[in-house]
């Protein structure tokens, strides 16, 4: 363990260089070990803050930190981000000109570089090894370390040569990082690199800022369009399985006025990288891609990831959704699920020659289908996949935990659909059957004379999407089944016949979307008009410096500015993500923009969070007037109702009700706090307020990495303040 004064220095650097108040879980012990020159192996989820774990020691230690990173395309952004915080960083790879390369060599020899990024192939070049041997190296960091394991999913043979590091540099410590490693892969990585009794960290796979939702797919493109229209300023990724569907969806979106670009392995490399760059630089809002769009994405402000087709396995789904919300701001993950997608995937799996691999692939698909169709918390299911138990009953950030359901009897409509299947000989696929019941006039219908079938047009009062959804329900309930073909045909099962001939009825539970999403909650907490203006300022700087906007400031940092309206440099320093170098470079421009905005919108700042909160002084809070709506909440709470029930009854969000309770506590009303927060958790929150010596909620929430919610923190704060006022 490091001595106390060193610890203080770490915190100081965290604030000065990166502008952060507190470490994310696991960062501090990792940095502590690196500074003590011990080997480290860390699994941290995407967005967990791996880069800070090696960038901060790189800044503090003498000598150069050498980072091995698999993708040349990522290095520039990483270096730009480090430089933006005032770290002397560079990369050496084939994209440099001869001149730039010799400059970099020169600086390296003069020990002027704090952080050097290279690809593994450069590391093993004898001449380069020689150069490294003649300089002072603080430590090696290996990014995406799972690439060394054949068991992992991105194996790269170049990585195997990294075992040279401990052989050639026996006195230099190595820190290996990855976002994905089962225990088996972990062992493999440690052994293959040759790490020496490393400090091993496995962080939780939980991504508290991601909201998971599964929606029944009836018309993917329209569903996507609706989703995008609800959040007109957010950027995100849409995954589709085939190149053709990628192109179709991208074209569809563009023709509907959405700025979208395609990405798949069939596009020429220049077009692919131009599209990726446009996405990174906020020049295009939506990337429609196959899973070829992967590891190279380090854009931190991806606000949603949509899977428009069923992924092949949970691991892939987790990694792909994990690309959303790296900056810690909430983000949405939407999966459009249809049972009709399954046979196609099965068909491809059936082409796998090895029995063993085929069985594994089928098993993976089954897990994925269960995830999408089971009625249990999505977060719990995902974490279970990684052998992790999610502790709470309700995660409050997935559709299962937030939506209500109602039972609907669909017997009649099921019979209409099944009759069409039955009367056409059980040899057609879903879409054709839906055409029959909606009375479509297609070539196929005419040629088979299906317009003469009794149920032709029987369901035309309802939309096609409705019937597709009914068919999907029937598949889910095993009322009908489909063959494992590329174009599967459907037929009735035994249970299906019972239903068709009226021997039983079918009731399904239909989800009533609570219209909650990660974003809808988030938007309430900052001034979005100001955000748009600050975004434009950020974009100008980014263009001037040829870096992606998130390198200047993350979305999270801008949101904080839109909550606190910093008016001076000293205020800016209190914003998360604003270090000293960024103060010098950008503070004035952003403060100006905020001032301009407040001049034009004098009321805007009134609801802003107060910097006065910052000092940990005990002063009586100004009492706010209690309105009628708050009184209603008080009465219901006194009746013994829970926050959720009160919110439900009044059609308000739980967050609004929590806000009411906060006011009531401040007003000195008699509120039984134990009904609101578990006493142990409250004690933990109180301890944090006292440790941080500040009343703002942000550091507490950040520190907890999602285990403490905004509402819990503010209620605990109100209560603690109230008690302190009594003392």
What residue ranges bind ligand ADP (CB under 6 A)? 20, 23-24, 27, 44, 46-52, 300, 326-328, 554, 576, 702
**Among 69, 8, 398, 17, residue whose Cα is nearest residue 211:** 398
Residue 326 binds what, of Zn ion, ligand ADP, none (CB under 5 to 8 Å, by partner type)? ligand ADP
Nearest distance, CB of residue 564 and ligand ADP, angstroms: 16
Chosen from ligand ADP, Zn ion, none, partner binding at 401 (C-beta under 5 to 8 Å by type): Zn ion
**Helices marked H in 256-354:** 269-280, 314-321, 342-350
Least gap, CB of 328 to ligand ADP (angstroms): 5
| Residue 688 near Zn ion by CB under 5 A | no
Rounded-to-integer distance, Cα 93 and Cα 121, Å: 9
* Closest-approach residue to ligand ADP (CB): 49
> Could you give the string, one character per residue 301-340, with x where binding to Zn ion holds by CB under 5 A and - elsewhere?
----------------------------------------
Q: Which of 50, 264, 379, 450 binds Zn ion (CB under 5 A)?
A: 379
By the 8 A CB rule, do 275 and 261 touch? yes
Q: Closest distance between ligand ADP and the C-beta of residue 55, in Å?
A: 8
Q: Compare residues 42 and 401 and give the one whose CB is closer to Zn ion.
A: 401
Kindly tell me which of 261 and 379 has the beta carbon lying closer to Zn ion.
379
377 binds, among ligand ADP, Zn ion, none (CB under 5 to 8 A by kind): Zn ion
Q: Which residues contact 511 (CB under 8 A, 6 or more apart)?
A: 399, 403, 404, 405
Residues recorded for the chain: 727
- Cβ atoms of 611 and 564 within 8 Å: the answer is yes
Q: x-or-dash pattern for Zn ion, window 338-377, by CB under 5 A? A: ---------------------------------------x
Instruction: Return the closest-CA partner of residue 534 out of 493, 504, 495, 577.
Output: 577
Nearer to ligand ADP, 21 or 571 (CB): 21
The distance between the two most distant Cα atoms of the chain, rounded to a whole number of Å, is 87
Residues whose CB falls within 8 Å of the CB of residue 439, separated by 6 or more in sequence, listed in order: 451, 456, 457, 458, 460
Q: Which is nearer to ligand ADP, 48 or 166 (CB)?
A: 48
- Provide the minimum distance between the beta carbon of 559 and ligand ADP in the complex, in angstroms, as a whole number: 12
| Positions 637 through 666 that interact with Zn ion (CB under 5 A) | none
Nearer of residues 398 and 414 to Zn ion, judged by Cβ: 398
Token code pair at residue 626: 């209690």
Beta-carbon contacts of 432 under 8 Å, excluding residues fewer than 6 positions away, are 424, 444, 445, 450
Q: How far is the CB of 350 from ligand ADP (least distance, A)?
A: 36
- Kindly list the distances between the CA atom of residue 251 and the CA atoms of 243, 406, 437, 505, in Å, as whole numbers in the listed order: 12, 37, 30, 42
For ligand ADP, the closer CB: 44 or 470: 44
Rounded distance between C-alpha atoms, residue 276 and residue 231, angstroms? 21
Residue 178 interacting entry, from ligand ADP, Zn ion, none, C-beta within 5 to 8 Å by type: none
- The window from 140-148, 235-243, 378-386, 566-574 that contacts Zn ion (CB under 5 A) reads 378-386
Distance CA 24, CA 203 (A): 10
Minimum Å gap between C-beta 557 and ligand ADP is 9
Q: Which of ligand ADP, Zn ion, none lies near 711, with the C-beta cut-off 5 to 8 A by kind?
A: none
CB within 8 Å of 136: residues ≥ 6 apart: 62, 63, 64, 111
Q: Minimal distance in Å, beta carbon 333 to Zn ion?
A: 12
Q: Could you tell which of Zn ion, ligand ADP, none binds residue 47, using a CB distance below 5 to 8 A set by kind? A: ligand ADP
CB of 53 to Zn ion, least distance (A): 29
Query: Which of residues 46 and 396 has its CB atom nearest to ligand ADP in the complex?
Result: 46
Q: Mention every residue, 6+ apart, whose C-beta is less than 8 A from residue 329.
A: 209, 301, 303, 522, 554, 555, 556, 559
| Closer CB to Zn ion, 217 or 379, in the complex | 379
Cα–Cα distance, 558 to 527 (Å, whole number): 10
- 172 counts as binding Zn ion under rule CB under 5 A: no
- Beta carbon of residue 66, minimum distance to ligand ADP (angstroms, whole number): 17
Name the helix (H) or strand (E) containing 490: strand 490-492
Identify what 395 binds: Zn ion, ligand ADP, none; CB under 5 to 8 Å per kind: Zn ion
Q: Which residue intervals of 454-512 are DSSP H helices? A: 464-476, 494-500
Binding mask 382-421 for Zn ion (x = CB under 5 A): -------------x--x--x--------------------
Q: Considering the complex, what minimum distance in angstroms separates the CB of residue 50 from ligand ADP?
A: 3
- Partner interacting with residue 51 (select from Zn ion, ligand ADP, none; CB below 5-8 Å by kind): ligand ADP
Tokens 């073909």: give the residue. Answer: 485
> Of 285 and 380, which has the nearer Cβ to Zn ion?
380
Nearer to ligand ADP, 496 or 579 (CB): 579
> Which of ligand ADP, Zn ion, none does 328 bind, CB closer than 5 to 8 A by kind?
ligand ADP
Q: Is-contact 42 50, C-beta < 8 A?
A: yes
210: left (phi over 0), alpha (psi -120 to 50) or beta: beta
b/e per residue, 508-540, with b = 16+ CB within 10 A? Answer: beebeeeebbbbbbbbeebbeebbebbbebbee
Residues that bind Zn ion (CB under 5 A): 377, 379, 395, 398, 401
């Amino acid at each position: 363990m490091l001595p106390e004064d060193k610890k203080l220095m770490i915190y100081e650097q965290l604030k000065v260089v990166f502008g952060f108040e507190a470490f994310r879980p696991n960062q501090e012990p990792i940095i502590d070990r690196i500074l003590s020159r011990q080997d480290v192996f860390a699994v941290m989820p995407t967005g967990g803050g791996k880069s800070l774990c090696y960038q901060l020691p790189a800044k503090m230690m003498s000598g150069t930190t050498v980072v091995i990173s698999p993708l040349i395309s990522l290095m520039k952004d990483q270096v730009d981000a480090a430089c933006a915080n005032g770290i002397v960083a560079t990369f050496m790879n084939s994209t440099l000109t001869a001149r730039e390369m010799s400059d970099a060599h020169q600086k390296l020899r003069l020990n002027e570089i704090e952080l050097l990024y290279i690809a593994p192939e450069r590391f093993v070049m004898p001449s380069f090894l020689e150069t490294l041997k003649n300089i002072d190296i603080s430590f090696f960091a290996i990014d995406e370390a799972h690439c060394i394991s054949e068991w992992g999913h991105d194996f790269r043979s170049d990585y195997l040569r990294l075992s040279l590091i401990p052989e050639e540099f026996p006195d230099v410590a190595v820190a290996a990082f990855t976002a994905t490693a089962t225990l088996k892969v972990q062992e493999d990585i440690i052994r293959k690199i040759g790490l020496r009794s490393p400090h091993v960290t496995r962080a939780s796979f939980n991504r508290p800022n991601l909201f998971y939702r599964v929606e029944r797919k009836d018309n993917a493109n329209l569903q996507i369009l609706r989703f995008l229209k609800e959040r007109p300023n957010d950027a995100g990724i849409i995954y589709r399985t085939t190149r053709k569907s990628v192109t179709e969806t991208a074209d569809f979106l563009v023709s509907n006025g959405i700025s979208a670009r395609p990405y798949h392995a069939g596009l020429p490399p220049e077009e692919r990288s131009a599209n990726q760059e446009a996405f990174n630089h906020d020049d295009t809002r939506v990337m429609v891609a196959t899973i070829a769009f992967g590891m190279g994405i380090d854009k931190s402000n991806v606000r949603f990831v949509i899977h428009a087709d069923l992924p092949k396995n949970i691991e892939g789904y987790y990694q792909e959704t994990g690309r959303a919300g790296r900056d810690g701001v909430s983000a949405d993950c939407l999966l459009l699920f249809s049972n009709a997608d399954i046979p196609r995937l099965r068909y491809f799996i059936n082409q796998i020659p090895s029995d063993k691999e085929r069985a594994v692939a089928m098993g993976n698909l089954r897990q994925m289908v269960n995830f999408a169709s089971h009625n249990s918390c999505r977060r719990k299911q995902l974490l279970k996949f990684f052998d992790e138990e999610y502790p709470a009953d309700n995660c409050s950030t997935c559709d299962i935990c937030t939506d209500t359901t109602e039972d609907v009897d669909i017997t009649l409509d099921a019979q209409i659909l099944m009759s069409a299947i039955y009367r056409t000989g059980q040899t057609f696929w879903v879409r054709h059957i839906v055409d029959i019941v909606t009375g479509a006039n297609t070539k196929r219908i005419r040629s088979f004379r299906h317009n003469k079938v009794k149920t032709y047009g029987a369901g035309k009062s309802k939309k096609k999407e409705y019937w597709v959804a009914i068919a999907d329900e029937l598949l889910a309930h095993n009322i009908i089944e489909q063959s494992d073909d590329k174009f599967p045909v459907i037929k009735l099962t035994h249970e299906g016949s019972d239903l068709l001939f009226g021997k039983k009825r079918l009731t399904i539970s239909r989800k009533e979307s609570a219209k909650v999403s990660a974003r809808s909650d988030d938007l309430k907490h900052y001034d979005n008009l100001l955000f748009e203006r600050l975004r434009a300022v950020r974009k100008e700087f980014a263009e001037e410096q040829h870096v992606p906007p998130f390198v200047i400031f993350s979305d999270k940092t801008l949101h904080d500015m839109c909550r606190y309206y910093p008016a001076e440099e000293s205020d800016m320093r209190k914003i998360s993500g604003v270090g000293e170098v960024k103060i010098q470079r950008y503070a004035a421009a952003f403060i100006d923009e905020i001032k301009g905005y407040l001049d034009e919108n004098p009321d805007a700042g009134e609801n802003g969070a107060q910097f006065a909160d910052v000092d940990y002084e005990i002063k009586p809070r100004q009492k706010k007037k209690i309105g009628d709506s708050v009184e209603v909440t008080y009465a219901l709470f006194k009746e013994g109702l829970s926050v959720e029930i009160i919110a439900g009854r009044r059609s308000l969000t739980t967050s609004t009700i929590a806000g009411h309770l906060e006011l009531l506590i401040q007003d000195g009303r008699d509120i039984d706090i134990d009904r609101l927060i578990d006493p142990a958790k409250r004690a933990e929150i109180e301890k944090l307020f006292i440790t941080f010596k500040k009343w703002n909620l942000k550091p507490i929430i950040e520190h907890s990495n999602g285990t403490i919610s905004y509402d819990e923190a503010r209620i605990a704060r109100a209560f603690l303040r109230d008690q302190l006022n009594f003392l």
